Amino acid sequence: MTATPFLPYGRQSIADSDIEAVVEALRSDYLTTGPMVERFERELAATVGAKEAVVVANGTAALHLCMLAQDLTPSDVVIVPSITFAASANCVAYCGAQVVFADVDPLTGLITDETFEDALSLIGPQKRFAGVIPVHYAGRPVDISRISAVARARGAFVIEDACHALGSTGPQGPIGACAASDMANFSFHPVKTLTTGEGGAISTNDLERARRLRLLRSHGIERDPARFVGLGYGDGDENGAWVYEMQVLGFNYRLPDINCALGVAQLKRLPEFIKRRKALVAAYQAELAQSNLPVSWMAPAAGDDPVFHLFAPGIDFAAVGKTRAEVMAGLRERGIGTQVHYIPVHRQPYWQTRQLSPRALPGADAFYRSTLSLPLYPDMADGDPARVVEALKEVLA
């Protein structure tokens, strides 16, 4: 008798084609920066509809480079929604600027026009509103029309945190096309829609910005003689074939050819990943609609076409008289893995004393109190959503 497989909340999908692509890269002349980097960037840019994509070591590195490219100062303030991974705010602190947290819709976890305006009102005359990082939480698109208009009118940037949203389409079009933003960043961690092992990327339509991101990605080193400013020797040692110039303080945030080979192979499978995730979410919706459980999940807004990275419904734990920890333990006993995304960042000890204008964020707290991420990944079986909901019925009974 075959044991029922454990269902984690998320998991990579690796096919023979992925393995073959990595093996081919291992047998090539390049393991670090080689032709697969440029290929992955080119194909990723085409996939999301942007002019440029810059691949980096991970999603946090992508966020950090986006902030570095803004030349932030200690008097600059960036608005970040509280429901996100810590890196969305940490990247601002890395660059010495300040964060004011925005509240979110308690049902979707997304920043709204109203919560953005509230956060903006807290930035006094001694500070400068530098920018905003809307987060497409779980793959659900944020409508950034109003946010973008306000930011651009004030000379501020809009950088989309799209780490959950590869393949999603919102009111501004495909996420990553940057129709109403300066840049968008992605994560390719194994539980995301596409994986490179670890990895991330930044998309943009500004070619000069992409050039600077690549400079910052690799120690701030320029190798193009046409862009040299001079080493001070004044002779042949200024422009020899070996010469490079470190022009800014950069980092080693490169993504190796091996990882990019996996990324190229996974991009070919992206349509099947998207189709599968949508089918599984539809199955969850159908099962929950018939379950009569105290579980809520917001359907996508009209016109949106999300590719959900997480299936994270809200559960009224008080109504069933059980704590979230008890429910998670009960599900685990039945072979169902779960997770919580996320503890509001404004509640984290580091940020409690460092955020600008600390205050209650009831939407973020309400969302956190009820959310629970259930299994969602392409290799789940057709019947797995029904299995998860049946387990929920037993645990919540």
List phi, psi (to 5°) of 185: -125, 150
In this prediction, residues 347-361 reach a mean pLDDT of 97
In this prediction, residues 336-357 reach a mean pLDDT of 98
pLDDT at 90 over 50: yes
pLDDT recorded at residue 101: 98
List phi, psi (to 5°) of 146: -70, -45
Confidence of residue 199 (pLDDT cuts 50, 70, 90): very high
CA diameter of the chain: 81
In this prediction, residues 4-20 reach a mean pLDDT of 97
In this prediction, residues 350-360 reach a mean pLDDT of 97
336 vs 288: CA distance, rounded Å: 16
* Nearest alpha-carbon partner for 345 in 97, 138, 102, 119: 102
- Contact assessment for residue 358 and residue 346, using Cβ atoms and an 8 Å cutoff: yes
Within a domain: 122: yes
State the amino acid at position 44 in one-letter form. L
Give percent of the chain with pLDDT exceeding 70.
99
What pLDDT digit, counting tens, does each position of 100-127 carry? 999 999 999 999 999 999 999 999 999 9
pLDDT recorded at residue 238: 82
Q: Which domain holds residue 309?
A: 16-218+253-396
In this prediction, residues 178-192 reach a mean pLDDT of 98
pLDDT recorded at residue 240: 85
Within a domain: 10: no
- Contact assessment for residue 162 and residue 136, using Cβ atoms and an 8 Å cutoff: yes
What pLDDT digit, counting tens, does each position of 239-259 carry? 788 999 999 999 999 999 999
pLDDT recorded at residue 1: 36
pLDDT recorded at residue 306: 98
Active site members: 192
pLDDT at 80 over 90: yes
180 vs 313: CA distance, rounded Å: 29
Q: For the chain, list the strands marked E by DSSP.
A: 52-56, 76-81, 98-102, 128-132, 157-161, 169-170, 173-174, 183-187, 200-204, 221-222, 245-246, 295-296, 314-315
Confidence of residue 3 (pLDDT cuts 50, 70, 90): confident
Q: Looking at the chain, how many residues does it have?
A: 397
172 vs 175: CA distance, rounded Å: 8
* Nearest alpha-carbon partner for 146 in 118, 116, 169: 116
**Total domain count, the chain:** 1
For the entire predicted model, the pTM comes to: 0.97
Within a domain: 170: yes
Which tokens in the block code for residue 284? 């969850």
pLDDT recorded at residue 235: 81
In this prediction, residues 79-96 reach a mean pLDDT of 98
Residue 311's CATH number? 3.40.640.10
Within a domain: 208: yes
Within a domain: 343: yes
Within a domain: 1: no
Mean pLDDT over all residues of the chain? 97
What pLDDT digit, counting tens, does each position of 27-73 carry? 999 999 999 999 999 999 999 999 999 999 999 999 999 999 999 99
143 vs 170: CA distance, rounded Å: 7
Within a domain: 57: yes
- Spacing of C-alpha 41 from chain mean position: 17
pLDDT at 2 over 70: no
Within a domain: 243: no
pLDDT recorded at residue 22: 98
Lowest average pLDDT, out of 166-180, 232-246, 378-392, goes to: 232-246
263 vs 102: CA distance, rounded Å: 33
What pLDDT digit, counting tens, does each position of 290-316 carry? 999 999 999 999 999 999 999 999 999
